Amino acid sequence: MLNVTVERPLWDKLELPTWLVVVGVYAAWGALVYAGGGLPWWIFCPLGAVIIAWHGSVQHELLHGHPTRSVWFNSILGWMPLGLWMPYHVYRENHLLHHRVATLTQPGEDPESYYFMQQDWASLCPVRRGILRANNTLLGRVTLGPMIVLVRFGISELRLLAEGNLSRLPGWIFHAVLMSSLLYGLDHYLGIPAWYYAIGCAYPGISFILVRSFLEHRPSDIPAHRTAVVEGNWFWSLLFLNVNFHVPHHDHPGIPWYRVPALYRAERDAILERNGGYMFRSYGQVARQYLLRPKDMPVYPVR
């Protein structure tokens, strides 16, 4: 294994690349919405979606303790709901639980699982099963996937409230205030309607994020075979802050994003042997294989 405790240069200790990305994503978003009224939708919406997905990657880096080790300070940096739908505190809680579970992808344990136990799958109506099968194609994941994610997430949060669990409610109220203020400001001061931002930017922003998570994990009787690597190119690696190298990220979640590629290159052969060769050279390869063909069934097969 690569020694990850070697002396780090000052720029690395300060995590300057992460600071640059944090500043960059908010600056890019600010510049875009400032110019938004004068941009055609076919420029504004794709750029907005990319920036929102990039912001999601920044939030992911923040919750893993970068660029500072202060939970409250990183939370300040991550709370602004550019993507609208998930409060930062909920994302942080769910994702850190995802890293702690012993059986990735198992329904009921992994909060980021897309799979169903056999008895639950059998209870679904044929239309819903068809939608979920389509969601396991890349085209379905980027078109239907955001709505599926939003509905499932909303149901899970409402279920907590129905059970009397109010632990997330203060954060939800804070999120609602921030989101309402953001949407009001966009509309009132910049002439960007809330519906336009939500449908044209936030929804496809989730689609970009779902490209990354589409093949991150799969069920397997061998736990090490459950996590993938997509090597990708500079665009996807920067957009996802190298989380596409998902095995080294899970092995070393405390490593800052810009050090992950070197870690992967140093251990590539061992990583691919350990994860059963679950690797894709690029997202183009992912699209060629799974654009219209389901990657697997949404039924959890491991007993």
Determine, yes or no, domain membership for 295: no
Task: List all residues 6 or more positions away from 103 whose beta carbon is below 8 Å from its beta carbon.
Answer: 109, 110, 223, 302
The predicted pLDDT at position 8 comes to 83
Q: What domain range includes position 131?
A: 10-290
Determine, yes or no, domain membership for 256: yes
Number of domains observed in the structure of the chain: 1
The predicted pLDDT at position 223 comes to 93
Tens digit of each residue's pLDDT (9 = 90 or more) over 240-280: 999 999 999 999 999 999 999 999 999 999 999 999 999 99
DSSP per-residue letters across 229-258: EE---HHHHHHTTTTTSHHHHHH-TTS-GG
Question: SS in 3 state form for 126-166?
Answer: HHHHHHHHHCCCHHHHHHCHHHHHHHHHHHHHHHHHHCCCC
Determine, yes or no, domain membership for 95: yes
Q: What is the pTM of this model?
A: 0.94
Determine, yes or no, domain membership for 2: no
Determine, yes or no, domain membership for 16: yes
Determine, yes or no, domain membership for 301: no
The predicted pLDDT at position 2 comes to 47
| Low-confidence residues of the chain: pLDDT under 70 | 1-6, 302-303
